[in-house]
Chains A and B, each alone.
Chain A
Amino acid sequence: MFTNKIAPELTQPLWDGVAVNGGRAVITQDGKTLTLAQQGMALLSVQTVTTAVAAITFNNMDTTYDEYILEFNNASPSVNNSNIYVQYVTNGSVNSSANYNWHVDISVMATSTVSSNGGTSGYIYAAAATSNTAGWGTQGRIHFYNMGATNPVKYWTVFTVASGGQCIGSGYFNGSALFNGIQISTTGNFTSGTFRLYGVRSV
């Protein structure tokens, strides 16, 4: 007998090809099954700044997910007009090697101009001209690809907005290092901000 574990009051499938198997909803189509719980975006961790900290680290990022997304809201630095940077982490150790190849285009609010920046550095350039005024924190997200793998290049994309500028960028880490975490930092401390890490799985 069919049991709908999402809506137990239903006694029959919502539609043909959808069933519950092992507590997970599955879709069967053309002889293939897709387990819904194994695809899509999952919230993995939330870190909220309540005490000023110089950096925030997320660990346990591996090949479980095809892509990771770091989303941050109202991230404020202690030093006005600072940038935000991200670095890869291996077993708790930050990778500061000059293998981060990055490029960002910054739409500068004050002048309505675009500043095009690039370089090879020891970090990911993630946000510019952030404000330390309460309520004016930086918002944005960064996508990370190929975490937890050695051979593929580790790509990232950046979409952030601060009071002074909007940042759109991308880049890659040129090297075979295996990373299982990221660290986000700014100039001085973060005095506020909520940082959420999501995993995105395609199968």
Chain B
Amino acid sequence: MALLHMVDGVVLEMSPEEEADFTARQAASAADAAKALVPATVSRFQFRKQLRVMGIFSDVDAAIAASNDVDLQEAWADATEFDRTSPNVAKMAATFKLTDEQVDAAFIAAAQIRA
């Protein structure tokens, strides 16, 4: 059965072309929908606590200390909040082979931690 849409108050069946457009939009928007609830930033406390919850805090700490990346080390030592789109977050995600979806989930979980 064809999908229905309402056009200027009249309910009609979508044509095959209209249905194809609609289905394509649905697929294209799925990734954006998943990202909708990812916080842009979390606090230092939330970020570090979430790493402990994930069981990788010590490993992350050690990996950063062993790196020669001064920018990364200073961010880890001094940042008061962590940005989801930060290149340093991306570097550590790559080091620990975390997918975008896993990092998004970690930020969502971190945002719910209260100090």
Contact = CB atoms under 8 A, between A and B. Distances in A.
Interface of A: 45-47, 49, 51-60, 82-83, 85, 87, 92, 94, 96, 106, 108, 110-111, 113-117, 119, 121-123, 125, 128-129, 164-165, 183, 185, 187, 189
B36 A45 contact: no
25 contacts: A47-B8, A51-B11, A54-B4, A54-B14, A56-B5, A56-B6, A57-B6, A82-B33, A85-B25, A85-B29, A87-B25, A94-B18, A94-B21, A94-B25, A96-B28, A108-B37, A113-B42, A115-B39, A119-B32, A121-B28, A122-B24, A123-B29, A128-B37, A185-B22, A185-B26
Interface in B1-42: 3-9, 11, 14, 18, 21-22, 24-26, 28-29, 32-33, 35-40, 42
A114 B39 contact: yes
Interface of B: 3-9, 11, 14, 18, 21-22, 24-26, 28-29, 32-33, 35-40, 42, 108, 111-112
A121 B5 contact: no
Contact of B8 (A52, A58, A106): A58
Nearest to B113: A111
Contacts of B7: 56-57, 59, 92
B29 to A, nearest CB: 6
B8 A55 contact: no
Contacts of A164: 37
A57 B36 CA distance: 25
Contact of B32 (A60, A94, A117): A117
Given A47-B8, A53-B5, A59-B8, A123 B37 contact: no
Contacts of B108: 111
Contact of A128 (B36, B39, B111): B36
The residue among B4, B5, B11 with the most chain A CB atoms within 10 A of its own CB is B5
A82 B35 CA distance: 12
A116 B40 contact: yes
Contacts of A51: 4, 11
Contact of B36 (A53, A54, A83): A83
A114 B42 CA distance: 10
B43 to A, nearest CB: 10
Given A82-B33, A83-B32, A96-B24, A113 B39 contact: yes
